[in-house]
Structures are given as structure tokens and as C-alpha cells.
Amino acid sequence: MASAPSLVLKRQLKAPPEKVYQAWTQPEQMMRWWGVTPHPNKPIAETDLRVGGRFRVQFWGASGEHHSVSGVYREIEPNRKLVFTWTWQSTPERESQVTIDIRPSSEGSLLTLTHERFFNEKVRDDHGVGWNHALDNLEKVFA
């Protein structure tokens, strides 16, 4: 049986691991880079940062489409690693998993995002586009 498709992205960020971790875990920081578009509605982020706690992010696309994703924190290592489930409100039966690994580097931090257990390759590819856009926004926060 073939394994479910996965995606790995790496980004060098000009910020220490503590700041990168905060960008992923503090709602006010998440809203600075998650789903940033020309749409007038700002992203909404909620977190309960504990193993078993939930997060939820809502954002709007440039043409006004609403997106809502949520999940459960499975593993938390402050300033180093987050593992959480990933479920779109529109397809709750397609739960996947995201791992955020943050390592110190000479330029600040090396972030590795691993997104696993996609429903199929098209869903993986679509998420690759979305994650790259989000990580571009995150880079701009630390530029």
C-alpha cells in the first residue's frame, strides 16, 4: 500500500528561534503573516497552547472566499518544535499533520515545515502553494 503524500519546506528566517516560535503560537503574531491578502477582513487566530489544546485560524482570500482551519497540538517543545493536526472546516474528514521544526542558524533560524498524510497528491500540491505563500509572508515579518 502506498503511503500518503507529504510535503517538506525549509526557510531561513532572520529571527531567533524564540521569535519564530511566537509567530506560530501567539494569535497576535499569527495574524501578522497568516493568510495576508488584499481582503479587508483580517485573519483571526485562536490558540490553546498545550498538548491536547486546539488552534483555529480563519482568513479570507483575495476574492473574498473564507477559509477556516483548526487542529490539536500533539507535541510542543517551546522555541523548537510543534506538531499539530490540520483539518479544514470544509473537509473535516481529511485530517493531516504538520510538524514545525525550528533550529538556530548563523542567520537566525532554519524552519522546516513537514506536512504529512494528505488525502492525495493534488491536495499536497495545493497546500504547497498555500504554505509557500504563508512562509513568504512570514519572511517579510522578519525582513
> pLDDT tens string for the chain (143 positions)?
468 899 999 999 999 999 999 999 999 999 999 876 666 678 899 999 999 999 999 988 777 788 899 999 999 999 999 999 999 998 889 999 999 999 999 999 999 999 999 999 999 999 999 999 999 999 999 98
Q: pTM for the full model?
A: 0.92
Compute the CA torsion angle 103, 109, 115, 116 (nearest 10 deg): -20
1-38 burial string, b = 16+ CB within 10 Å, else e?
eeeebebeeebebebbbebbbbbbbebebbbbbbbbbe
Tell me how far apart the alpha carbons of residues 23 and 29 are, in angstroms, rounded to a whole number: 5
Tell me how far apart the alpha carbons of residues 91 and 117 are, in angstroms, rounded to a whole number: 14
Q: Assign domain 7-141 to its CATH architecture.
A: 2-Layer Sandwich (3.30)
Lookup: cell for 115: 506536512
